[in-house]
Homo-oligomer: A and B are copies of this chain.
Amino acid sequence: MPTTARWAATLTLTATAVCGPLTGTALAAPGNAPSGLYAPSALVLTVGHGHSAAGVTPERAVTLNCAPTASGTHPAATQACAELQGADGDFDALTVRDGVVCTKQFDPVVVTVDGVWQGKRVSYERTFANECVKSSYGTTVFTF
């Protein structure tokens, strides 16, 4: 399944399948949260050399929390959270920065993102032709 479709499917499943005995659904709806509560946003991002996450050993992994405040081992947590807010949590919406020039060397890297974004589960993976290309998407999210 293409990454975009998988992402859309994940969001749809999460949104529709959400659950019987759960009383705190509003937690997952930003803006609906009762005072003092917030929808959690906590992610682990990994990167490894290879074609797909299934066969790749993560070489680096960082955490990124975006609620209630930005933190984590991501080297630019505050900016990364702002960027994801701007993209409404859609990792596929992060586009190439202007002015970045990368070689066409094919040495693929796979980025994975797992966890929760504003109360919805995230399971994302994306393959880039090389490290330079990876880090040229968005401003900081994939730069770790």
Contact = CB atoms under 8 A, between A and B. Distances in A.
A56 B119 contact: no
Interface stretch (A1-9, A60-68, A78-86, A91-99): A60-68
Query: How many identical chains are in the complex?
Result: 2
A57 to B, nearest CB: 4
A115 interface: yes
Nearest to A16: B55
Contact of A49 (B23, B108, B115, B123): B23
Specify the main secondary structure of chain A where it touches its partner. mixed
A30 interface: no
Contact of A61 (B40, B108, B123): B40
A11 B53 CA distance: 14
A12 to B, nearest CB: 13
